[in-house]
A and B are shown apart, each in its own frame.
Chain A
């Protein structure tokens, strides 16, 4: 197991603990079919590895069979000098391409959010499927 894969394992563990705390606090606890995440590009999370780790680590838990749906958000910074947004090139250049001011305000890309969950309904599969 590489360091990166190990990292996704830990990140997934953190996600499952957070979901479990939330689920335990609910009055009704229907089976969860899908978990929607919003993951920024400027985080330490690699979506593909996260999906894989989630599938493995949820076996025999309250999340068994649930899938992850990850929506990625781009890195967008705001340059106060130029009064405009720009998209830094991750790994290469973060300063403003026009005036070279450092990346100060990050407007998007740091998200690590559980957006919503979809419940499964018996006999129908996912609840918000329309038949």
Chain B
């Protein structure tokens, strides 16, 4: 009998994760839920953006949050004040969420709430510019945040996340006048890598640009 000595696979290294992500997305679709994967480096303002979003949109959209940031329970408590389901995932020492962790979050969510009543699930990823971009969790859109304090060249140095983003929020723009930073330069650097991305400049502090963000969110929902 001939023994095979070599096997061609030609499959993606992240195949197992991708299968899980597709499975999660199929559930979301079945329930009529839109899901965003929200990513940034630590401290770019993901949680405060979620707070502003919940404060304004939770009247018209039924929203749930899956919270993966490593600071977890603190962030989760901040968000629960808005009366929406918040599932905190313990990511351990992992530097990003993967589809299996989010599947666990979904299971806990549907155990406590009727998913068909929900319109939008916001997944707050672990603060990290490198890894989350490669690990899909079942989202319909990727939202990336970049704060003006991080510098103009971040999109060039950490290009993959900015390439994959559907919406890019330049945050903390109220600080721009105090920094040696050119907002147009940041946007140009992002567009070099991702010409079709929606770029919105926001300040959670002054409220500038938030209406544009809310409008973008509403448009994505089924």
Contacts and interface: CB of A to CB of B under 8 A. Distances in A.
Interface residues of A, number: 42
A1 to B, nearest CB: 8
Contact of A22 (B9, B98, B133, B134): B9
B219 interface: no
Nearest to A17: B16
Interface stretch (B102-110, B176-184, B187-195): B187-195
A104 B159 contact: no
Interface in A80-131: 90-95, 102-104, 112-119, 121, 127-128
B143 to A, nearest CB: 18
B7 A102 contact: no
B60 interface: no
Given A4-B130, A28-B4, A43-B134, A114 B9 contact: yes
17 contacts: A3-B130, A6-B94, A7-B95, A10-B96, A14-B135, A17-B16, A18-B16, A28-B4, A44-B133, A91-B157, A93-B156, A102-B193, A112-B13, A114-B11, A114-B15, A115-B8, A121-B5
B94 A103 contact: no
A15 B9 contact: no
A14 B93 CA distance: 15
A115 B6 contact: no
Nearest to A39: B13
Interface of B: 3-17, 93-96, 98, 128, 130-131, 133-135, 156-157, 159-160, 163, 191-195
Nearest to A102: B195
Contact of B10 (A18, A91, A113): A113
Nearest to B191: A102
The A interface is mostly helix, strand or loop, or mixed, namely mixed
Contact of A18 (B8, B14, B156): B14
Interface of A: 1, 3-4, 6-7, 10-11, 14-15, 17-18, 21-22, 26, 28, 30, 37, 39, 42-45, 90-95, 102-104, 112-119, 121, 127-128
A45 B133 CA distance: 11
Given A21-B16, A117-B6, A43 B160 contact: yes
B154 to A, nearest CB: 11
A118 B6 contact: yes
Contacts of A43: 134, 160
A119 B13 contact: no
Query: Which 9 A/B pairs are nearest by Cβ-Cβ distance?
Result: A127-B5, A102-B195, A17-B16, A112-B13, A18-B16, A18-B15, A94-B192, A7-B131, A95-B192
B64 to A, nearest CB: 25
